[in-house]
Structure 1
Amino acid sequence: MKVYYKKGTSHANHNEDAYFYKHLNEDIVLLAVMDGCSSGKEAYFASTLFSKILKKISLGIPNQTDLLGVDLLDSYSLSSLGLHITHSFFIQLKRIQQSLLLEYSELASTILLMLVDKKQKKVWVLVAGDGYVMIDHQLQYYDYNNRPDYICYHLSNSYKEWLHEHTEIYEATYQNIVGLSTDGVKEKLSFPNKINRRDIETLLEDKEVQFKDDVTFLIFSDEPR
């Protein structure tokens, strides 16, 4: 896993992005990137909180079983696992919001989440906000004109309503490389629809290159660099 995490020049104190990744078992990997809303209160808090919730969920999954007592990671499809994780995330975020009496502006963050099945070469993706999904050398940009439909706006509704009406979900296959990125990288991409892994790594590793917005880019690969 390669992680690129850069604070933008427009943010004086904090990188308002956050990220999380974890191998749930030998075959399944969870990736996520979050981008806190700059106009919200302490934007880095929201994105960091999202990563902490995902950490808690991920640590519990290997010990969970289905109704027949079979390990969750063995019995669930990639899609079912994705729904289980995002449902747990939604419920726990709602509980924290109620417990701490947090305002919407304190929980405004995007979230892009990906489950990778290395064995079957499949991914399950959920997008709720601006950002990039990378599958092999193809980059798909999701653009909400910096006005994303944040999950915090829908915590008073049901998980199903948020999932079906306010996110984009899909499954795909891949050959060697997948990744997620917040939208800060777009200012340096001349051809945002297709990019070579080496090119993006060279760009992000160049210490002379500065970004106005924060950048978080996760790259998972089955192939050597």
Structure 2
Amino acid sequence: MNIYQLLRIGEHHINHCEDYAIVETIGQGKILCAVMDGCTMGGDSYFAATLVGKLLRKIAIEKSYQSFYDKSHNTSVDIDLKYILGKLMAELKDLKNKLLLKDDELLTTLLIAIMDVENNTGKILTIGDGLVCINGQLYEFEQDNKPDYLGYHLAEEFEMWYSKQKQILHIDKIEDISICTDGIFTFSAYDKKKYNVQKDPINYLQLIIYWLTKKIKSLKAC
């Protein structure tokens, strides 16, 4: 599986990029991918996105070790996603108490994908705004500029909260997958000049991914 990542600081973000992205293996031929977008109106908005990314990396490494020592414990992507989210919420709640963090210091969106490379299946959960592309089909999650954030739900009972999640996508056959924060909707000309041809940045980026995939497949065939 070929994985491509792109992370850029926004024009109005002076000191830090408020997005964060990670890709980690979780053992037994499975991969965790996630992108986070901190709330600009929150306190130190880059912090929440980075913290969630670091915690997900820690959880992924622990799960990878666990699967290495117990190869008989092979779970589905559905179980993996729920387990990882449960661990993430518990650790966020614990850190909030230990560091005396305020609610607005833990505001970040989250798009998380668990992919089973061997079985060619996957599952994606979006908390807040974002864009998902599965096998050329776009799924836009837009909440009228009032996105949901993980930090809103730390006091809730996890099982009840998780059962209410609606922005979940199941993948029966993976050809290509893209997960993006809503920053992809703000792409603009880097040099501020006006051009006659107006490009759709979403379709343009998807075209690049499609072309790279075909190019790599043709090279392997040679």
**Smaller-chain TM-score bracket:** 0.7 to 0.9
Instruction: Name the residue aligned to 1:198.
Output: 207
Alignment coverage as a number of residue pairs: 203
Instruction: Name the residue aligned to 2:17.
Output: 15
- Mark the runs of 5 or more structure 1 residues left unpaired by the alignment: 203-218
Larger CA deviation: 14-23 vs 37-46: 14-23
> Which runs of 4 or more aligned residues in structure 1 lie more than 6 Å from their structure 2 counterparts after TM superposition?
none
Paired AA for residue 224 in structure 1: I
Paired AA for residue 76 in structure 2: S
- Mark the runs of 5 or more structure 2 residues left unpaired by the alignment: 188-198, 218-222
Q: Is the 8 A contact 2:36 2:181 kept in 1?
A: yes
Are residues 92 and 24 of structure 1, via their aligned partners in 2, closer, same or farther at CA, if it must alter by over 3 Å? same
TM-score, length of structure 1 as denominator length? 0.80
Instruction: Name the residue aligned to 2:162.
Output: 163
Higher CA-based Rg: 2
Instruction: Name the residue aligned to 2:216.
Output: 224
1:118-141 per-position Cα deviation (integer Å, ceiling 9, x unaligned):
122111111101001121222211
Alpha-carbon distance in 1 for matches of 2:214, 2:177 = 9
Are residues 20 and 87 of structure 1, via their aligned partners in 2, closer, same or farther at CA, if it must alter by over 3 Å? same
Instruction: Name the residue aligned to 1:39.
Output: 41
Paired AA for residue 124 in structure 1: K
Mapping of 1:40-79 within 5 angstroms? 40-64=42-66, 70-71=70-71, 74-79=73-78
Q: Is the 8 A contact 1:177 1:223 kept in 2?
A: no
Alpha-carbon distance in 1 for matches of 2:85, 2:124 = 11
> Offset of 1:94 from its aligned partner?
0.7
Are residues 71 and 41 of structure 1, via their aligned partners in 2, closer, same or farther at CA, if it must alter by over 3 Å? same
Instruction: Name the residue aligned to 2:106.
Output: 107
Are residues 196 and 47 of structure 1, via their aligned partners in 2, closer, same or farther at CA, if it must alter by over 3 Å? closer
RMSD of aligned alpha carbons: 2.7
Paired AA for residue 27 in structure 2: N
Q: Secondary structure at the match of 1:94?
A: helix
Instruction: Name the residue aligned to 1:211.
Output: none
Are residues 102 and 222 of structure 1, via their aligned partners in 2, closer, same or farther at CA, if it must alter by over 3 Å? farther
Instruction: Name the residue aligned to 1:147.
Output: 146
Are residues 49 and 222 of structure 1, via their aligned partners in 2, closer, same or farther at CA, if it must alter by over 3 Å? farther
Alpha-carbon distance in 2 for matches of 1:15, 1:154 = 24
Paired AA for residue 19 in structure 1: A
> Offset of 1:174 from its aligned partner?
3.4
Are residues 70 and 77 of structure 1, via their aligned partners in 2, closer, same or farther at CA, if it must alter by over 3 Å? same
> Offset of 1:43 from its aligned partner?
0.3
Paired AA for residue 33 in structure 1: V
Greater relative CO (CA pairs within 8 A, separation 6+): 1
Q: Secondary structure at the match of 1:22?
A: strand
Q: Secondary structure at the match of 2:6?
A: strand
Are residues 18 and 201 of structure 1, via their aligned partners in 2, closer, same or farther at CA, if it must alter by over 3 Å? farther
Are residues 102 and 223 of structure 1, via their aligned partners in 2, closer, same or farther at CA, if it must alter by over 3 Å? farther
Q: Is the 8 A contact 1:137 1:195 kept in 2?
A: no
Paired AA for residue 42 in structure 1: D
Q: Is the 8 A contact 2:109 2:127 kept in 1?
A: yes
> Offset of 1:98 from its aligned partner?
1.1
Alpha-carbon distance in 2 for matches of 1:191, 1:138 = 15
